[in-house]
Amino acid sequence: MRPTDTFIVEELNEAHGFARLRSESGAGLFHCGLFPEVPGGELSPLRLQVGDRVSGFRRGQTVSHIQWLSRAAPPEALVRRMEEVLRLLASRGLPVELAPESLADHQWREGAGSPLLEALKPKLRLFFDWEAAHPFEDERLLDRVEQATQEHMPGFSVLPIPGQPRFRVEPGSLVIVGGEPDWDEPARLFEPLVGHINRELGSTGAQVRWVPVRDNWVLAPLEVVDLLVANGVLQGRASA
């Protein structure tokens, strides 16, 4: 097997999807893909960044079988921002046991998903549970919404009216007419109900609302959702 060489990542070419490496042996510049290999031969979901130290096999001007020897630290400003995000979440009753450095590194290297969202999921109240079922097939949807809302508005209840896009809510024995059912955009059916619940939450002085995010609503203070959207943890709903 060819011996490995060691390199420092000197530059990233975003447009063409490769990194430029400088050989520590003084042999010059080489290039490789943006994603190193992990044990098992698969590509890492996290990409290289300038300052990483890696090993690999040279072939001409190309380096293959790239593996990390050490990783450059994420920018200090990004670490500080993640510290502030964690501090604000904790101050609003959403403490998370994650290191700001690891969150910053994941974001800097454009990793898929969000470790922070995964840690927050057990604490967040989501309207739709997409992992369990499509909203139109989720038999627990209204029970879940009712229970979550009752935490901030005791006495609230909501029941479907069989065979109709309508909901009966308490207090008040009101009938809320839903929007046109659409399998591809189920939020349309529930938007009038969510609007009613939010008005009632406001009238009771509650600090939370069912705030729209991509393909869902989350029950939380608006500033918490704005914070998570601004930092890429949640995706905001696109404007019409």
**CATH number for the domain harbouring residue 20:** 2.40.50.140
* Total structural domains within the chain: 3
The strand ranges marked E within 83-208 are 125-126, 157-160, 166-170, 174-177
**Phi/psi of residue 189, nearest 5 degrees:** -60, -40
Query: Does one domain contain both 101 and 183?
Result: no
* Residue linked to tokens 């009238």: 203
Query: Does one domain contain both 19 and 84?
Result: no
Task: Quote the domain boundaries for residue 25.
Answer: 5-70
Q: Is 128 within 8 Å of 138 (Cβ atoms)? A: yes
Query: Does one domain contain both 37 and 84?
Result: no
User: What is the side-by-side order of every strand in the sheet holding 209-213?
Assistant: 125-126, 216-220, 209-213
Query: Does one domain contain both 130 and 239?
Result: yes
pLDDT at 240: 40
| Tokens representing residue 171 in the block | 């207090």
Longest dimension (CA), the chain: 79
* Residue linked to tokens 């290297």: 109
38: helix, strand or coil:
coil
Among residues 70, 87, 109, the one where a domain terminates is: 70
The model's pTM is: 0.76
Query: Does one domain contain both 44 and 92?
Result: no
Query: Does one domain contain both 84 and 24?
Result: no
For residue 227, give the amino acid letter.
L
| Tokens representing residue 182 in the block | 């659409």
Query: Does one domain contain both 62 and 84?
Result: no
Q: What is the pLDDT of residues 110-158, one digit of tens each?
A: 888 889 988 998 888 999 999 899 999 999 999 999 999 999 999 999 9
pLDDT at 3: 63
Query: Does one domain contain both 239 and 128?
Result: yes
Query: Does one domain contain both 240 and 129?
Result: yes
Residues of the chain below pLDDT 70: 1-3, 238-240
Query: Does one domain contain both 101 and 185?
Result: no
Q: Residue 58's beta-bridge partner residues?
A: 63
